[in-house]
Structure 1
Amino acid sequence: MAQFSLYQEEFHPSPWQKTWREFRSSHIASLGLMILIFFLIFAIFAPLLAPYDPLQQNVNALFIPPSWNVNGTISHLFGTDALGRDLFSRIVYGCRVTLGSSILLVLLAMIVGVAIGTIAGMLQGVRSSVVNHLFDALMAIPTLLIAIVIVAILGTGLVNSMWAITLALTPQFVHHTRSLVRTEMKKEYVLASKLDGANHFQLFFYSILPNMIEMLVVQGTIALSIAVIDVSALGFLNLGARPPLPELGAMLADGMEVAYAAPWTVALPGLTIFLIVLAINIVGDGLRSALRKRLTQ
């Protein structure tokens, strides 16, 4: 039975509710989100989902095909590699290493980039021009190339590659944050806050940051797809994660040596990287489309 209401009040959804409604109306975006959540579950609950230790070697189980092959076995769902390690367990842990490290470095790049971009957006005169042109010049260089140069200086390894990709992604957040801050600083509500005696710190946290969240979400998804590709590429080039660490790019490099004898050792890690990047890009495109539709309503 419908509840009686004395006052006919209209429901006005919040901006986030409008964005989610527009995002959910796209079946492709919803599918991408489900795939991304699937890999996030792999990354978070890897110790519970992996049936074997990803580093455990078994000389009696070398090159076992995947379970859907006539020579495969259900005990090794994705088969084994050249050292008898269970490939499904290694891919599950690979999602944790690749996707988890990518999320961590994107958050770090976002924090540093927003801080520098906010300062650059509030600066005036020569200092603002120098900072702006410096980071615009860095944006013209591909992030993977910057990461390779930084890794060559710092040395190889997963941690050094994460620092390198973080430094390579930071200029993108600086650029978009600076542009948004310079636009918001000209609006009347910021001027009203200035007249009320708000300092730059208060202006950012109480006036500008709430209007920046949506931009950061969209740019964060774009940066996340770049980070996954860069982490995997550095691992594949033996500049990032080193064996026997189960990182998807390093697993792809290991499988290249035995690709003719065991093609699944290349195909399955490569397919995992492809699906992760595809899901992130679909979610990012869906967010951009939902924000565009919400703003035009």
Structure 2
Amino acid sequence: MAQFSLYEEEYHPSPWHRTWREFRSSHVAFVGLMVLGLFFFFSVFAPLVAPYAPLEQNIDALLIPPSWEVNGSISHLFGTDALGRDVFSRIIYGCRVTFGTSLVLVILAMVIGVAVGTLAGMLSGVRSSIINHLLDALMAIPTLLIAIIIVAILGSGLINSMWAITLALTPQFVHHTRSFVRAEMKKEYVLASRLDGASYYQLFLHSILPNMIEMLVVQGTLALSIAIIDISALGFLNLGAQPPLPELGAILADGLDVAYLAPWNVALPGLSIFLMVLAINIVGDGLRSALRKRISR
């Protein structure tokens, strides 16, 4: 027997639920999220998914075509390279290195950028002016160029390239955080909290940060695509991940030596980078559109 309810309560979805509902209504953005989830799955469960070790060589299986070719073999789905290594396994582990390191350094750049940007947004006078001018100068330089300069100073390697890209991405988070904090500091609810005696730390933690999360999600997805391109570019230029570490940019550079004999060694890693960046950009655009529609309603 149905229970009688004296009060007819209306259901009001949370802001995140409304954002997810608007995001899910876009089929392109949802497909992009599924593709991005597939790359994340490969990054986490690479040892379980990959049929071979990424460094395992087989001199009896050199430059085997992909399985859809006439001379291909189903045992090597994407074929093999010049050393007999399975391309499919190397791409899976390459997604783990490229996507995983990019995700870590974007989170690190976000934490540093939010801290510095909040400080710049709340301060005033000479200190704020110095930070703003430094940010304007750094924002005019492409992130890849900054990363190459830092790697040239620190030396090549995956760790140094991660630090370089983190330092290159940080000014973007500082810039957006500073603009957001300055706009929020002028609003009435922040002024009311300041009149109640709230400190800057309390203002940021309880008033500004909850409203900043959505902006950080959108900017984080866009920064993730930039980080993947930069990590791959540094690996391709032999400034990032060094052989035999399986990284998509380094795998693409290794395939150039046999590009005419085995074009799949170049096409498949390049296609993986393209799909990864495309999926992230589609998800970022979908999130931005969902947030805009949610706010307008």
Which TM bucket (shorter chain)?
A: over 0.9
Instruction: Give the match for residue 50 of structure 2.
Output: 50
Whole-angstrom distance in 2 between the partners of 1:291 and 1:219: 13
Q: 1:243-258 alignment to 2 at 5 Å?
A: 243-258=243-258
The SS at the match of 1:269 is helix
Matched, 1:180 2:180: yes
Whole-angstrom distance in 1 between the partners of 2:296 and 2:213: 18
Instruction: Give the match for residue 136 of structure 2.
Output: 136
**How far is 1:213 from its partner?**
0.1
Q: Deviations over 1:233-283 (max 9, x none)?
A: 000000000111100000000001100000000000000000000000000
**How far is 1:194 from its partner?**
1.2
Q: Where do 5+ consecutive residues of structure 1 fail to align?
A: none
**How far is 1:5 from its partner?**
3.3
**How far is 1:104 from its partner?**
0.3
Instruction: Give the match for residue 99 of structure 2.
Output: 99
Count of residue pairs brought into register by the alignment: 297
The SS at the match of 1:167 is helix
Q: 1:261-280 alignment to 2 at 5 Å?
A: 261-280=261-280
The SS at the match of 1:212 is helix
Instruction: Give the match for residue 36 of structure 2.
Output: 36
Q: Deviations over 1:76-117 (max 9, x none)?
A: 111100000011110000000000000000000000000000
**How far is 1:26 from its partner?**
0.3
Whole-angstrom distance in 1 between the partners of 2:187 and 2:202: 16
Whole-angstrom distance in 1 between the partners of 2:233 and 2:265: 17
User: Which segment drifts farther, 235-244 or 2-11?
Assistant: 2-11
Whole-angstrom distance in 2 between the partners of 1:116 and 1:203: 15
What letter matches 2:181 in structure 1? V
Identity, in percent, stands at: 79
**1:188–1:79: structure 2 CA closer, same or farther, 3 Å change rule?**
same
**How far is 1:3 from its partner?**
6.1
**How far is 1:209 from its partner?**
0.3
**How far is 1:4 from its partner?**
4.7
Instruction: Give the match for residue 290 of structure 2.
Output: 290
Whole-angstrom distance in 2 between the partners of 1:231 and 1:91: 15
Whole-angstrom distance in 2 between the partners of 1:276 and 1:3: 51
Instruction: Give the match for residue 218 of structure 2.
Output: 218
Instruction: Give the match for residue 79 of structure 2.
Output: 79
Whole-angstrom distance in 2 between the partners of 1:190 and 1:96: 42
TM-score by length of 2: 0.98
Whole-angstrom distance in 1 between the partners of 2:34 and 2:60: 37
**1:189–1:95: structure 2 CA closer, same or farther, 3 Å change rule?**
same
Whole-angstrom distance in 2 between the partners of 1:67 and 1:120: 56
The SS at the match of 2:105 is helix
**1:3–1:25: structure 2 CA closer, same or farther, 3 Å change rule?**
farther
Whole-angstrom distance in 2 between the partners of 1:214 and 1:179: 14
The SS at the match of 1:35 is helix
What letter matches 1:126 in structure 2? V
**How far is 1:13 from its partner?**
1.0
Whole-angstrom distance in 2 between the partners of 1:11 and 1:129: 47
Whole-angstrom distance in 1 between the partners of 2:215 and 2:117: 13
Instruction: Give the match for residue 195 of structure 1.
Output: 195
**How far is 1:196 from its partner?**
1.8
Instruction: Give the match for residue 260 of structure 2.
Output: 260
Give the root-mean-square deviation of aligned CA atoms. 1.0
Instruction: Give the match for residue 63 of structure 2.
Output: 63
**How far is 1:164 from its partner?**
0.3
Q: Where do 5+ consecutive residues of structure 2 fail to align?
A: none
Whole-angstrom distance in 2 between the partners of 1:202 and 1:23: 32
**1:253–1:4: structure 2 CA closer, same or farther, 3 Å change rule?**
farther
Whole-angstrom distance in 1 between the partners of 2:127 and 2:158: 35
Q: Deviations over 1:168-226 (max 9, x none)?
A: 00000000000000111111111111122211111111110000000000000000000
**How far is 1:296 from its partner?**
0.8
